[in-house]
Amino acid sequence: MIKFFNTLFVTMFGLGKIKKIPGTFGSLATVIILYFFFHILNVSSNLILIGLIIIFVLSFSAIAVHIEDSENKDPKEVIIDEFIGQSIPIYLYEISHGIEKSPNEAIIFYGVCFVLFRFFDIAKPFPVNFFDKNFKNSFGVIMDDVCAGFYVVLSLICFMVLSSYFFL
């Protein structure tokens, strides 16, 4: 029974079992879930942060249990790591500047975050590829997506700085 719930957790309630592009579906589900929590339910960002931290910490052991008997140490059905990585730029956007974000602005930003995250998760620039290649365990599975999430943040910061410099 515990293994069943563990599989539900690491596959985001079975979403990772989709045959084609499960990581993309996991990222898209994350975008929808976070939009729902931030803009429909208006859940406190502190409460969301606590939830994200709990998911992050539990993911290490859940993924380790899921892959312990498998030769493939980063199976496609494990998409909780996409949830974690995709959450980073969206959460940081939502808490940035301390101002209320309009739902329309958020939809555009979430879409940009989604596209950039998928790009970095698939292209795997350094250090994303470092974690992917050198850690064949739950740490590697999670940290490559965490790095991809921070690449999205870095890209958006660079864009904002450059656009303010060139369009002032």
Neighbouring residues of 129: CB distance < 8 A, sequence distance ≥ 6: 144
User: Rounded to two decimals, what is the model's pTM?
Assistant: 0.93
Q: What is d(CA 19, CA 5) in angstroms, rounded to the nearest whole number?
A: 20
Q: What is d(CA 122, CA 13) in angstroms, rounded to the nearest whole number?
A: 23
Q: Is the pLDDT of residue 82 over 70?
A: yes
In three-state secondary structure terms, 102 is coil
Q: What is d(CA 44, CA 153) in angstroms, rounded to the nearest whole number?
A: 21
**Per-residue pLDDT at 167:** 75
Q: Is the pLDDT of residue 97 over 80?
A: no
Return mean pLDDT, the chain.
93
For helices 80-95 and 103-123, the axis angle rounded to 10 degrees is 140
Q: What is d(CA 140, CA 56) in angstroms, rounded to the nearest whole number?
A: 13
Most confident of 36-40, 68-72, 95-99: 36-40
Contact 7, 63 (CB under 8 A): no
Confidence of residue 98 (pLDDT cuts 50, 70, 90): low
pLDDT digit string (tens) for 41-58? 999 999 999 999 999 999
Confidence of residue 74 (pLDDT cuts 50, 70, 90): confident
